[in-house]
Amino acid sequence: MIAGNGFQVIDIGHLDVAYQWYLMQAKKKTPLENRTVNEVGDSQFNKIANYNQFKI
């Protein structure tokens, strides 16, 4: 356990998405072009990705 050993951890996993919304001056969470945003119900991933390219 990291905290038990005296370390502090900050999760910045969605910082890039929040920053893009800040730059857009978005008033609500909106889809971002060429990005998958799990906080938005209408993800751009389904519109831009070709699922066949991920088959091995």
The more confident residue out of 35 and 30 is 30
The size of the chain, in residues, is 56
pLDDT band at 55 (very low <50, low <70, confident <90, very high): low
Give pTM, 2 decimals. 0.57
What distance in Å separates the CA atoms of residue 47 and residue 42, rounded to the nearest whole number?
A: 9
- Which amino acid is present at 49? A
Closest to 37 in 3D by CA, of 13, 55, 54: 13
pLDDT band at 33 (very low <50, low <70, confident <90, very high): confident
What is the DSSP secondary-structure string of 13-38? TTHHHHHHHHHHT-SS----TT---T
Give the pLDDT of residue 14: 86
